[in-house]
Chain A
Amino acid sequence: MQLNLENKLNKSQLNMLEKHLLNDFQHGFPLVPRPYARIAKELETTEELIIESIARLKQQGFISRVGAVFRANSIGASTLAAISVPENKLESIAAIVNEYSEVNHNYKREHHFNLWFVLTARDEHELNAVLDDIEQRTGYSVMYLPMVEDFHIDLGFDLGFELELNLERQNEWT
């Protein structure tokens, strides 16, 4: 699966319409009754083809969803957390952390704090209960790093495609 995706990328098999869909609509997705028709008009194609293309990109794993990215802590409570674990215990500790449905990201990173994860819960109370539980089950202290301030202006991610269509973006919608 992974290899196929890579081949597709390397061979530039993404067509121009797919590249535009991936790159140009990461923010400002039309909030109008027929959003896909609006995109189709902008990209000079049909609503049906836009819907088909997004469904295919999703199925192929390039898109996780069309939807909202919420500001941290505006919905529920979340935090970054880290544990310093001996290398030979990392896999088993990571597996324990993964068991929690409140954990949505969990990475090994190159540092003596080597296990980093993000927790999201309904509220602070629930978040603390999960952190306590993880500490108790793993036997390691969890470094708890909640967000204090967000400086990021999220406009999505420029994928660096060379987009030849160069259609004018319509800005009347947001």
Chain B
Amino acid sequence: MDMKMTYRQPLLPPLAEIDDKDEALVLLLQKGLPLTPTPYADIGKKIGMREKDVIGRLTYLNESGIIKRFGVVVRHHELGYRANAMTVWNIADDKISELGACMGGFDFVTLCYRRPRRLPEWPYNLFTMIHGKNREHVLSNVALLVKQCGLNTVKHEVLFSSKRFKQRGALYRK
């Protein structure tokens, strides 16, 4: 059953610059914003930054898109959205920006990434994570995407997760 595949290729360079102070902020933010009246000042104290600089840096990271969103991170599963499927699509290269943008705008789509194809085993180049309350709900959301983005002729597969071995935020360490 051993499959021999050589799949390595260089990663893309980081998309934006962050400096050492940002790294210290990021490390602290992984644990979440303190639940105190002045959380930014409290974070600042730990890393030798003034409150207004913490807020300024976070505002910059937010506006420049390094932070995609800043706010409450909910647990879908615990809130009743029990099903998710990684739905993968084989999209013509010249259509991928248009169709990716269409799919990425739906709120039940929580990830929408272009990734390399790995031929012949893996022809899919667009990866979407589709959430729903149950399997039927997920499938109806997939059908909605097909209809709204005009994907009738696009080959796709719906990979439901059937077991969660691990789930936590990314740990970034210096």
Contact = CB atoms under 8 A, between A and B. Distances in A.
B165 A98 contact: yes
A60 to B, nearest CB: 8
A136 B119 CA distance: 23
A151 B113 contact: yes
Contacts of B38: 33-34
Nearest to A27: B69
B116 A26 contact: no
Contact of A107 (B11, B68, B126, B164): B164
A101 B171 CA distance: 8
Interface residues of B, number: 92
A98 B35 CA distance: 31
B138 interface: no
Nearest to A76: B172
A75 to B, nearest CB: 6
B18 A75 contact: yes
Interface of A: 5-6, 9, 21-22, 25-29, 31-37, 47, 51, 54-55, 58, 60-80, 84, 86, 94-95, 97-98, 101-111, 113, 116-118, 120, 122, 124, 127-128, 131, 139-159, 174
